[in-house]
Amino acid sequence: MKLSEIINNEKLSLSFEVFPPKTDTAFESVKHATEEIAKLSPSFVSVTYGAGGGTSKYTLDIAKNINEQYGVPTLAHLTCVSSSKETVQKKIKEIKAAGIENIMALRGDLTPELENSDRSKWAYRNAIDLIRDIKDSGEDFCIGGACYPEIHPESENQREDIKHLKEKVDSGCSFLTTQMFFDNNLLYNFLYKIREAGITVPVIPGIMPITNANQVERAIKLSGSFMPQRFKSLVDKFGHSPEAMKQAGIAYATDQIIDLFANGITNVHVYSMNKPDVAEKIQSNLSEIIKV
Ligand code: FAD
């Protein structure tokens, strides 16, 4: 099923993100975790392409399994910056053959090696190039793109970032998913600005439940997200106790999601990081809210 059929719906829903295993030996345990997440019947599950520590090799196996065994629509992530045109065309065909109708089209992060290489030789410079190739492939996909309420770290300013985002959407994105954020006002300001710039597609906010103190530093480094004082206090107070931190992190994420739903957002994407217990707890915290 195409995600455009789900996310344009007025019904409140949650979707979850999982990542593929890092090693072959971890495949079965990751597959099991993703199946437990699929059993929660989210609106869809996205499977990253190498991000979050996993390899890209198993993205399709995990996405196909969730789709076929649990009837949950899946979104396969695909990055392009370190790939050749041939590799990407092959991947697009494989995604189609696996029965997956949705692609999250991403550039991918720049490794130091890439940063120091000759950009004129890159087959893909930005996600927009990948989106155009998916469109030109003749295969019919629902395509999503990434967006950054706090600006992409490489952008000089938000105006430039939104200008490129508009071009990206116009090249064929049906929806956008945001980078994680911990202050909903940043999202509301961003939405105002992109709507003003003429970007009209649905925006799915991405919420990361921080369930252990070590994750905080990593999350900020990866995303450059602003940490509100309210969140810092919580980490200061409960960070030393894994169980207390987990409960507080889930409560914080739940609170963010309730506020988003209350302010007109209909689908929230939870970066559930292969943790079925965290996904389950957030979903049960929202069990009545989601029926509204
Ligand atoms: P782009 O849209 O290409 O933007 C990157 C930068 O280039 C921005 O500063 C933008 O303003 C600028 N830009 C865009 N278009 C142009 C243009 N035409 N000319 C000049 N400048 C331009 N990484 C993974 O490796 N695997 C994943 O599975 C993964 N999933 C993600 C999911 C989400 C929801 C998000 C938010 C990020 C994800 N990432 C993933 C990380 C992502 O690959 C990085 O954030 C990457 O640095 C940018 O990817 P992008 O697709 O947003 O790039």
Where does 4-285 sit in CATH, by number? 3.20.20.220
pLDDT of residue 82: 86
User: Degrees (nearest 5) of the Cα angle 66, 70, 73?
Assistant: 60
Domain boundaries, the chain: 4-285
pLDDT of residue 111: 86
Token pair, residue 184, equals 């909903």
User: Nearest residue CA, atom 51 of ligand 1?
Assistant: 106
Residue with tokens 């041939």: 86
What residue ranges in 83-167 does DSSP mark as E strands? 102-106, 142-147
Q: How many CA atoms lie within 13 A of 278 on its CB side?
A: 28
Spacing, Cα 279 to ligand 1 middle (Å):
25
The residues near 179 (Cβ < 8 Å, ≥ 6 apart) are 146, 147, 148, 149, 150, 206, 223, 225
- By C-alpha distance, which of 167, 76, 82, 174 is closest to 124? 82
Say if residue 136 is exposed, middle or buried (CB neighbours under 10 Å; 0-12, 13-18, 19+): exposed
Distance from the first to the final alpha carbon of the chain:
24
Amino acid at 272: S
Say if CB 65 and CB 37 are below 8 A apart: no
Residue from 16, 95, 106 whose mutation best tests the ligand 1 pocket (most atoms within 8 A of CB): 106
Rounded to whole angstroms, how far apart are CA atoms 187 and 202? 13
pLDDT of residue 53: 54
pLDDT of residue 54: 59
26: three-class secondary structure by DSSP: helix
Token pair, residue 3, equals 């995600």
Rounded to whole angstroms, how far apart are CA atoms 143 and 103? 5
Q: How many CA atoms lie within 13 A of 17 on its CB side?
A: 24
Rounded to whole angstroms, how far apart are CA atoms 158 and 106? 19
Would you give the distance in Å from CA 91 to the centre of its chain? Answer: 19
If you count them, how many residues does the chain have?
Answer: 292
Strands 142-147 and 175-178: parallel
| Backbone torsion region of residue 14, taken as left when φ is above 0, otherwise alpha when ψ lies between -120 and 50, otherwise beta | beta
Reading the chain (292 residues) residue by residue, the pLDDT tens digits are 999 999 988 899 999 999 999 899 999 999 999 999 999 999 999 999 986 555 778 999 999 999 999 999 999 999 999 899 999 999 999 999 999 999 999 999 988 888 899 989 999 999 999 999 999 999 999 999 999 999 999 999 999 999 999 999 999 999 999 999 999 999 999 999 999 999 999 999 999 999 998 888 888 877 888 999 999 999 999 999 999 999 999 999 999 999 999 999 999 999 999 999 999 999 999 999 999 9
Ligand 1 site residues (CB inside 6 A) read 48-51, 77, 79, 106-109, 126-128, 146, 152, 154-155, 161, 164, 167-168, 177, 179, 206
pLDDT of residue 219: 81
Token pair, residue 144, equals 């999503």
Spacing, Cα 238 to ligand 1 middle (Å):
33
Under DSSP, the state recorded for 126 is S
Say if CB 110 and CB 82 are below 8 A apart: no
pLDDT of residue 51: 61
Residue with tokens 């399994």: 65
Q: List pLDDT tens digits, range 21-62.
A: 989 999 999 999 999 999 999 999 999 998 655 577 899 999
